[in-house]
């Protein structure tokens, strides 16, 4: 196990992660920090609420992307690339990592 220090909303959080995942976790932390920064004054509210709203905004973006992908797959001609069914587990894993990271950050 490794530890990564994330700077989110002006605070630092130590997060444990698997060896080799440090860069990925740092990138996810940067996405969260960017989302809070994009919230303007709403991102300056108390820490828990700012993280909650950032997570909700990111979940909404993920939801939109899934819906758009499903619509595109329904209207797209068959392709020789990976199918939606083949991509779904990887996308679910990414969503789970985001949720786990948000939980760890909130519990820190």
Q: What is the pLDDT of residues 31-75, one digit of tens each?
A: 999 999 998 887 677 888 888 889 999 999 999 999 998 888 788
State the pLDDT confidence band at 78, using cuts at 50, 70 and 90.
low
Task: Say whether pLDDT at 88 is over 70.
Answer: yes
In three-state secondary structure terms, 56 is helix
Residue 82's pLDDT band (cuts 50, 70, 90): confident
pLDDT in tens, 96-107: 888 888 887 777
Most distant CA pair in the chain, distance? 48
**Section 12-18 average pLDDT:** 94
Say whether pTM exceeds 0.95: no
Closest to 48 in 3D by CA, of 106, 99, 108: 106
pLDDT of residue 28: 94
pLDDT of residue 97: 87
For residue 22, the tally of other CB atoms under 10 A from its CB is 15
């Amino acid at each position: 196990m490794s530890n990564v220090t994330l700077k989110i909303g002006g605070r630092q959080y130590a997060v444990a992660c698997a060896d080799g995942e440090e860069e990925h976790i740092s990138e996810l932390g940067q996405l969260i920090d960017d989302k809070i920064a994009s919230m303007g004054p709403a991102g300056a509210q108390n820490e828990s609420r700012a993280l909650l709203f950032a997570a909700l905004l990111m979940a909404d973006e993920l939801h939109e992307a899934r819906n758009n992908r499903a619509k595109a797959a329904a209207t797209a001609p068959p392709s020789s690339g990976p199918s939606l069914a083949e991509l779904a587990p990887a996308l679910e894993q990414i969503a789970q990592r985001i949720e786990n990271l948000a939980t760890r950050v909130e519990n820190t």
